[in-house]
A and B are shown apart, each in its own frame.
Chain A
Amino acid sequence: MKISIRLLREADDRTTFHSGDIELDRFFEKYAGQNQFRHHIGSTYIATIEETSDILGFATVAPGHIDDVPLALRSKLPRYPLPVLRLARLAVSEKAQRRGIGAALMRFVFDLALSLSVDYGCIGILVDAKPVAESFYAQYGFYPVQIIQGQSGTRPRAIPMFLPIGTIRLATKKPGI
């Protein structure tokens, strides 16, 4: 089974996707398209089997920036906002779970952040993790951060977690290189 990951298209049928999480399914069916095609405030990438149009999972990302870092902490950093890639939602279809789709989507998001860091600037990935998914993200090195402004409005309340771009870049290098 060859999995391919690509940007959501307007013609993609989002009505049959079921992850087992009503909030994620509602978002994917009703709002992922609006966010991307109408408001341009986020993009959704989908995992499909190359031979079919079945959607196995999706990841929604949006640009963000860490702002108002206290001067005392900035040291030599400029007073600009620090750009991040925000992973707002990630879900895998019930019928495709435990087949590496989540990992494939994560790899795609990591590669996207690496390429953004070169092309545009990105200091890391901030994920709005569902409480049940905290350990999934922690295994990749994401750690919880406390947000005082700009918290995701999802319910149950998301746990914001961060992974620095430098850590992702280090992971691409084979040991000893």
Chain B
Amino acid sequence: MSTQISAEISETTKELLESFVKNSGLKKGFVIEQAVLSYIRALNQLPADVLVPAKIVLSHKSAGQVVRHLRRSPRPTPKLRQLMTDED
């Protein structure tokens, strides 16, 4: 049994896919399914602790602190100032 999906992809990727299926004679659906499976398999080879999640959601308190510091940055520590003004 199969099902249908739709997805927004870039024009470049679409052209690459069209060109590949034309040259290889493979069906578009087959190529897409294999590509998705390969991608997931590759990611699964990485242990979870190696992946660095891109989306970060902070607690209300921490988010408030970060937003406040966007407007008014804390003064640098002496150690940071020393490191950043060191010419080497």
Contact = CB atoms under 8 A, between A and B. Distances in A.
B80 interface: yes
Given A88-B52, A103-B83, A168 B76 contact: yes
B50 A31 contact: yes
Contacts of B45: 34
Interface residues of A, number: 63
Interface residues of B, number: 40
A170 B45 CA distance: 42
Contacts of B66: 66, 69, 82, 123-124, 145, 162, 164
Contact of B80 (A23, A68, A153, A171): A171
B23 interface: no
A66 B80 contact: no
A37 interface: no
10 contacts: A66-B56, A70-B63, A73-B64, A81-B55, A107-B84, A123-B66, A145-B58, A146-B61, A150-B53, A168-B84
Interface of A: 23, 27, 31, 34-35, 38-39, 41-42, 62-70, 73-75, 77, 81-82, 84, 86, 88, 103, 106-107, 110, 123-124, 126, 128, 139-141, 143, 145-155, 160, 162, 164-172, 174-175
